[in-house]
Amino acid sequence: MNAPGAEPDSGPRLIYRAGPSTLYKVIVAVLLLILIVPLLGWTALALLAPERPMLLLAAAPLVPLVLFGGMLLLILRPAFTVTSRGVELRGCFSTRRVEWPEVRVVEIDRYWFNRGGVVIVTLDGRRLKSALTNSHSTLYRGESPYDHGPDLMHAARPARAAIETHRRWLHGTL
């Protein structure tokens, strides 16, 4: 319970969030519509057959719809979130949360494939990477590739947010 006049604890404060841009969300929606319309037509034709409805033929479009639709929705799942409590790295199939007390340092990845990406180094030596933060994913995030500098190794928005928030946490000003 909070003291009278004190602000309620509303949980961690969002500092930065990287995820798929609006353009990618629109592209996924259009692809789903392109998939759904013919499959609905196929289902309607199978159910409205003059002899007798063919339920198995009508249900057949559900399989590619669920598979392809699920794959498209997995494309939209990855996110990199910096909060006042820590960092969340969400991939297609897994989510890792790291609190600030567990973080030793936030680095910029120098390897080619993940160049410019954020690397969270924990106290136990684990190096957690988010593919969403690298220079190859800037357009997916809706950001400028020029933020990573000419050699694609400068700290872009995700790295700057994580480094600055970790620095503020270390100094106790968060």
Ordered by start, the domain boundaries in the chain are 16-75, 79-171
3-state secondary structure of 55: helix
Which long-range contacts does 8-12 make (Cβ < 8 Å, 24+ apart)? Answer: 11/85, 12/83, 12/84, 12/85, 12/86
pLDDT tens per residue across span 11-69: 789 999 998 888 888 988 898 888 888 888 888 877 787 776 677 777 778 888 888 88
Q: Which CATH number fits domain 79-171: 1.10.15, 3.40.50, 2.30.29, 3.30.160?
A: 2.30.29
% pLDDT > 90, the chain: 36
pLDDT band at residue 168 using 50, 70 and 90 as cut-offs: very high
At residue 2, does pLDDT exceed 70? Answer: no
* Predicted TM-score (pTM) above 0.85: no
pLDDT band at residue 111 using 50, 70 and 90 as cut-offs: confident
In this structure, which amino acid lies at residue 12? P
Q: What is the pLDDT of residue 153?
A: 72
Strand stretches in 41-112, DSSP E: 79-83, 86-90, 95-99, 103-108
Q: What is the pLDDT of residue 98?
A: 96
Mean pLDDT of the chain: 85
